[in-house]
Structure 1
Amino acid sequence: MALRLTSSPDPSERTGIALPPVPQARATPAALLVPRAQALLARRDVAAYRGLFGEAAHVEDPHRRWEARSALLQAGLGVHGSAIAVVAPVFAAVADAALELLEDDPREPLLLNWAGVALYELGALRPATRLFEAALRLDPELPHAAGNLREVARRKAAGLTRMPGLPPAVTAALRTLDERARRVAARARPAEGLTLSLCMIVKDEEAMLGRCLAAVRDAVDEIVVVDTGSTDRTVEIAREHGARILHHEWTGDFAAARNVSFDAATGDWLLYLDADEVLIEEDVAALRALTGRTWREAFYLVEVNHTGDLEDGTAVTHDALRVFRNRPAYRFEGRVHEQIAHHLPGYLAERIERTPVRVEHFGYLGAVRDAKGKSRRNIELLEQQAAEGVDTPFLAFNLGSEYAAAGENERAHDRFAHAWAALRSDPGRSSYGYVPSLAARYVKSLRVTGRLEEVDAVAAEILGFLPGFTDVVYEQGFSARARGDLDRAAELFARCQEMGDAPSRYSATVGCGTSMAACALAEVRRDQGDLAAAEQLLRTALVDHPGYLGTIEQLALVLLRAGRPGDAVVSEIEALGGPLAPTAAFLVGIACFEHGAVGTAATLLRRVLDAQPGAHPARAILAEALLSSGDLDGARTVAEEVPADASCADAAARTALFCRLAAGTAVADAQLDAAAAVGLPAAEVAALRAWRDAPAATPAAGTLPAAAGPPVLTMLDALARLEQFDAFERLAPVLDAVDAPWRERREALARLYLRRGFLESAADEWIAVVEHAGPDARAFEGLSEVAVARGLDDDARALADEARRLRAGTPDLQPAG
């Protein structure tokens, strides 16, 4: 049985898709030497074949030199022939050439394996075993090496320990090759004493830099921080962690700043991080160990990009190229989303390794992006590149990504579509690292911009060359749901669960094949009316993935819709997933509030505020919950604690003013002006001002804008529900001042009375309509509804019959309500 040679792998096998192809000359040294080697071997001119390694040694570029030598070795190992006298000299030459290279540097797993294969084929099982073991000692994941060891053991067990018929010259050479292999194998251990430099560029990063540096400090030998103009404590924090500080004027070019840090670093290896990235504590030793793997040129780390809000549990995993040999040729290009991979030997997949070392990235969290204005800044820099004539798919992809982050979906779609069209005919597109992200974001842009009919065709195209990309199927599910095809949506989300999360080389979203898919499928089942199935899906998902907030929120909604009391909902959820974190408590609190479980909502929201006093949205909703329960003073007090710069300041101001006016408490002009300043609509402020001044100064009819009508009716409805009748009487005349048709105002009030059970008042309003405008169908339909509510069935039928008769004569009149 022939051994597996562990050929220099195709880039798609060992490094996946993250390396862009490196432009190659039509005739590399390897491409020129291999045909000559094959011709010489065909003529059995082993000496001339062996001499080609001398030519390869003169190739100037070290990576092309390695490529040429590797290709020559593989050409020798691939020689065909049944006669041992023919092939044995070739295998001896391969072993000799490989060992010569290993004697110069024994830390080459591929060479160790190839030398072992050559010796195995010559029956030299002892040195072959040593070389295979040495290869695995360096790289336990080296393809086929373990299998080769098992094949040696099988041959030994079969008693096949000698190769008969070897030429005498080969037999003599094996004695020397055995000893050389022993010495090489003994030296083949990871390098020791090599250093790692952390390189960073920063500006105003005091909020996050300390955590980043504290996490990585024990893994690196040097910290180089390039500051581009901080005005906060960034530089001081960096110095506290032993960093060497360089000051560089910001020119809008991330690559230039990044290269300053690389130029200054003195380590054998370079690691770059941003301030919002944190090395996982358990992976410090693993990162440090990478420095001994000198047969590599670069390493990918697994970057966990947290998205949304930190407690959402949503994240995207991505293989990030972050560790490099310190070579002058390895430098960045690009103002934004700077790149370095194209300077690496991407054509030598064995030189670049994917590792399980993890880094958490917090820069995609909504709060972090908002605080730093990342999207708008990046858009300006990228558009500047485009204005300078740069028109590449990668630039279009980055622009689309930033527009998407900024919520500009049409612009994002335009850029994604431009990038996709440019790549459609590119046969190498699957090797570009950003293509999976582009694919997923392009499909999503089709959905969010309403281009639903295009989603499935594009998804099929993507899955054709990126198989197993769950994120794309997930988007198909949402597209089907948006089209109203719930059965198809359920089928697609179930398929996502079967597929599981896509591999990190696809920059996959964590959960598209697990928790998020289960949650999406549960929503579909809920839409289909199958609450039991939805509940079971969500319960299972919560137990399996307790960190995903979407599951908690959806389960709360399903349980509340099924009629569970609020306190029971909280107990059931905490029994499955543990105590609710503040954000989870906030979401469940909102669900309880919206489903009438006001007491439970207030308890949860207070819990949020105890843990996070600055969570002002929780404070604003707590005020609404207290208001809903009739606690006007408590609601006002809580609402007035929300600062003016909070995102929910307008809602809090609305609640506070309503409570004051409902309770008859004074409201100053300054308070109304402050409400306007935080974003309360002018029409609503005018309505509140009119209510404050009533009845002493009720505005004349038509003096309030039409836009004041809905908020006035909402406030009247709330007062009726709370049975604040004095306040209702003061506000009701304000409705007459709204610039809207008299009849519309009366009927809106009639419907409010009917909804709140004030049947006599509802009837009075519709009777007034009849007296003012004459009998019509809508008024009689309203009176019929009042009669039904009073239990006057005969009167209800008579009024409904009259409404139908009148409607037949006035077909243009719309039904009531």
Structure 2
Amino acid sequence: MPEANFVKEGNQEILISVCMIARDEEEYISKSIGSVIKYVDEVILFDTGSKDRTAEIARQMGARVFHGNWEEDFSIARNESIRHAKGEWILVLDADEEIDAESGTQLRKLVRNRGVDAFEVTVKSELPESDAVKYDEVVLTRLFRNRPNYRYELSVHEQIRPSIERSGGVIEKSSVVITHHGYSRTNVQGERSRIERNISLLQKALVKDPNNPYFLYQLGSTYKYAGENKKALDALLRAESEDRGRLSLSIREKLYVKLGQINLDGKNYIDAVRLAEKALEINPLNDIAMLVAAVSLLFMNKGAEAYRYLQRIQKLTVRSLRDDSILEKLISVCRSLDFSG
């Protein structure tokens, strides 16, 4: 592959820098850089110890590559990548993420807005095919001005938003979408389990800050993803207890959905419905919460109420369910039991 160099030099404007961190991501790195390269002015890759061709591939595609050790802290790595950026704006992208053309073309328009310091984007994480849901969505601040006081915090599930807010920065929403492929993979960094790594980092973070509802939520979510529902329930209940308004609405919505799912699995149908309804108070369009409520109500012999939830799902133009077969089967059950009248 011939070496490319798209970094602008001299008096040419470097408006947007993409900042990435990676280790042993040769399978994905070219797709990630390739998806964004035409919309930005430089790509920075901070490599934390790859043993494969990750750094070589990135360099051949025109990225400026820097090397350092993995310190068991994502914020340290993120901030090191940002330190090398020359652009006026930073776009943070993971090595297993891609940005589509529609979103890419928006970037330069967004950063011309003088009254804004950062933008939220939607990160859609693909889930394994065994999951009933196609993807998990989360809104994150990933596009922001390159300022020395804007830096990442937290060793895992790191965030830039708190430092921007403390500095009085203005954050606005955008329609930019980033697709994340990582959750459909079991391993990270070549060999190590993603679940094992994240649990270890979250447990270390909770030693320092044992009542942090965000860490507790992420720990519970990771245990749930691993199929350890008892540990997940304990951590998520603690997150709910310690929340007291500290979690964002989007995280609180996900917390209630996950608690509802676990209670449904544990046949605690009354609690499952209650928690699903709390999620729907935050987001009335959450189809997973509707599904949890509908299935729980069916088990409670409240088919008419279940059918109304299923009808609400059916009317949604955008659903996160992997396919409609589950929905169709449940509606068929309601109709066969004459709950649809």
The structure whose residues are more often helix, as a share, is 1
User: Alignment partner for residue 138 of structure 2, among 310, 318, 333?
Assistant: 318
What is the match of residue 320 of structure 2?
A: 511
TM-score by length of structure 2 reads 0.85
User: Alignment partner for residue 212 of structure 2, among 385, 392, 398?
Assistant: 392
What is the match of residue 181 of structure 2?
A: 362
Q: How much is the aligned-residue C-alpha RMSD, in angstroms?
A: 3.0
What is the match of residue 6 of structure 2?
A: none
What is the match of residue 306 of structure 2?
A: 489
1:93-172 paired onto structure 2 within 5 Å = none
What is the match of residue 461 of structure 1?
A: 278
Matched to 1:524, the amino acid is L
What is the match of residue 738 of structure 1?
A: none
TM-score by length of structure 1 reads 0.37
For residues 131 and 285 of structure 2, what CA distance do their matches in structure 1 show?
A: 28
SS at match of 2:183: coil
SS at match of 2:174: strand
The structure whose residues are more often strand, as a share, is 2
What is the match of residue 262 of structure 2?
A: 445
Matched to 2:320, the amino acid is G
What is the match of residue 328 of structure 2?
A: 522
Determine if contact 2:285/2:316 at 8 Å carries over to the other structure.
yes
Residue 434 of structure 1, CA deviation: 2.2
Is 1:417 the counterpart of 2:237 in the alignment?
Answer: yes
Size of the aligned set, in residue pairs, is 327
For residues 249 and 213 of structure 2, what CA distance do their matches in structure 1 show?
A: 10
Residue 246 of structure 1, CA deviation: 1.3
User: Alignment partner for residue 472 of structure 1, among 280, 289, 292?
Assistant: 289
For residues 345 and 381 of structure 1, what CA distance do their matches in structure 2 show?
A: 25
Residue 248 of structure 1, CA deviation: 1.4
User: Alignment partner for residue 238 of structure 1, among 58, 66, 81?
Assistant: 58
- The runs of 5 or more residues in structure 2 that have no matched partner are 1-11
Determine if contact 2:19/2:43 at 8 Å carries over to the other structure.
yes
Residue 459 of structure 1, CA deviation: 3.0
For residues 496 and 259 of structure 1, what CA distance do their matches in structure 2 show?
A: 42
Query: Do the aligned partners of residues 316 and 419 (structure 1) sit closer, same or farther apart at CA in structure 2, a change above 3 Å counting?
Result: same
For residues 312 and 480 of structure 1, what CA distance do their matches in structure 2 show?
A: 19
User: Alignment partner for residue 289 of structure 1, among 109, 115, 118?
Assistant: 109
For residues 308 and 384 of structure 1, what CA distance do their matches in structure 2 show?
A: 27
Residue 312 of structure 1, CA deviation: 8.3
1:232-631 paired onto structure 2 within 5 Å = 232-309=52-129, 314-345=134-165, 351-366=170-185, 373-423=193-243, 426=244, 428-429=245-246, 431-483=248-300, 485-498=302-315, 501=318, 510-511=319-320, 518-527=324-333, 530=336
For residues 451 and 335 of structure 1, what CA distance do their matches in structure 2 show?
A: 35
Determine if contact 1:304/1:317 at 8 Å carries over to the other structure.
yes
Residue 283 of structure 1, CA deviation: 2.8
Matched to 2:328, the amino acid is A
SS at match of 1:336: coil
SS at match of 1:300: strand
For residues 131 and 263 of structure 2, what CA distance do their matches in structure 1 show?
A: 28
Residue 528 of structure 1, CA deviation: 5.4
Query: Do the aligned partners of residues 282 and 399 (structure 1) sit closer, same or farther apart at CA in structure 2, a change above 3 Å counting?
Result: same
CA offset digits 1:71-99 (Å, max 9, x no partner): xxxxxxxxxxxxxxxxxxxxxxxxxxxxx
For residues 326 and 528 of structure 1, what CA distance do their matches in structure 2 show?
A: 55
- The runs of 5 or more residues in structure 1 that have no matched partner are 1-191, 502-509, 532-817
Matched to 2:329, the amino acid is E
Determine if contact 2:273/2:297 at 8 Å carries over to the other structure.
no
Determine if contact 1:494/1:521 at 8 Å carries over to the other structure.
no
Determine if contact 1:225/1:243 at 8 Å carries over to the other structure.
yes
CA offset digits 1:640-659 (Å, max 9, x no partner): xxxxxxxxxxxxxxxxxxxx
Residue 227 of structure 1, CA deviation: 0.8
Matched to 1:463, the amino acid is L
1:562-711 paired onto structure 2 within 5 Å = none
Determine if contact 1:202/1:226 at 8 Å carries over to the other structure.
yes
Residue 303 of structure 1, CA deviation: 2.0
For residues 14 and 227 of structure 2, what CA distance do their matches in structure 1 show?
A: 46
Determine if contact 1:410/1:449 at 8 Å carries over to the other structure.
no
Matched to 1:300, the amino acid is E
Is 1:205 the counterpart of 2:14 in the alignment?
Answer: no
What is the match of residue 5 of structure 2?
A: none
Matched to 2:119, the amino acid is F
SS at match of 1:317: strand
Query: Do the aligned partners of residues 368 and 483 (structure 1) sit closer, same or farther apart at CA in structure 2, a change above 3 Å counting?
Result: farther
Query: Do the aligned partners of residues 474 and 271 (structure 1) sit closer, same or farther apart at CA in structure 2, a change above 3 Å counting?
Result: same
CA offset digits 1:508-536 (Å, max 9, x no partner): xx435xx75x53332124445849xxxxx
Determine if contact 2:213/2:246 at 8 Å carries over to the other structure.
no
Residue 398 of structure 1, CA deviation: 0.6
Matched to 2:103, the amino acid is D
Determine if contact 1:489/1:524 at 8 Å carries over to the other structure.
no
Residue 489 of structure 1, CA deviation: 2.6
Query: Do the aligned partners of residues 446 and 347 (structure 1) sit closer, same or farther apart at CA in structure 2, a change above 3 Å counting?
Result: farther
Matched to 1:362, the amino acid is H
Query: Do the aligned partners of residues 495 and 283 (structure 1) sit closer, same or farther apart at CA in structure 2, a change above 3 Å counting?
Result: closer
CA offset digits 1:27-62 (Å, max 9, x no partner): xxxxxxxxxxxxxxxxxxxxxxxxxxxxxxxxxxxx
CA offset digits 1:651-710 (Å, max 9, x no partner): xxxxxxxxxxxxxxxxxxxxxxxxxxxxxxxxxxxxxxxxxxxxxxxxxxxxxxxxxxxx
SS at match of 1:295: coil
Choose between structure 1 and 2 for higher RCO, CA contacts under 8 A separated by at least 6 residues. 2
CA offset digits 1:263-315 (Å, max 9, x no partner): 11111001111111001023322123222122210012222221123998812
1:711-726 paired onto structure 2 within 5 Å = none
For residues 66 and 151 of structure 2, what CA distance do their matches in structure 1 show?
A: 18
